[in-house]
Amino acid sequence: MRKWFILVGAVIVTAVIDQASKGWIVENLELYQSVQPIPTLAPFFQLTRSSNTGAAFGILPTAGNVFLLLAFLIIGIMLWHFRSAASGARLLPLATGIVIGGAIGNVIDRLQYGHVIDFIHYHIPGLVSNVSNLADHAIVGGVLLIIGESFLRERKLKTEAESAENKTGGSNE
């Protein structure tokens, strides 16, 4: 029951923070307007209000409804997988909740505005210029936590198996 409490809490907190940040952007910036909250980081980091009807990095801009359906499908798959997740996976409830909360944040945008509100603008001249939002960062961060925990759990199981094999006398050569 604890893992579900953590998951639901992470979903709610992530979605609320995402929507609050986007609400502030909508209230304070016109479309494509930029501000530099930390002037010494400009032009590398600034806030630029933008809209995205497609996927990350603006790819497939006319497929917004497909991404809306995909978000619901991915949320369902994650919840299905989560219910049978290993009880020893300590970060999994938090990480899964962060991913789902980010997905819900972007779903709310698509339903409310017909596009996703982006505003976190990273710019490295000649390399990358990307505008994203907190939901996107939550999704990426949550997925990295899931991968990291999976890797560490796999490594721990391998070490435990090797240790048990050494205690029983090794292999049968």
Which active-site residues does the annotation give? 118, 136
Beta carbons within 10 angstroms of residue 15's beta carbon: 24
End-to-end distance of the chain based on CA atoms, in angstroms? 46
CB 103 within 8 A of CB 71: yes
Across-strand partners of 158? none
Radius of gyration of the chain (CA): 20
- 115: CB partners within 8 A, 6+ apart: 51, 52, 53, 64, 109
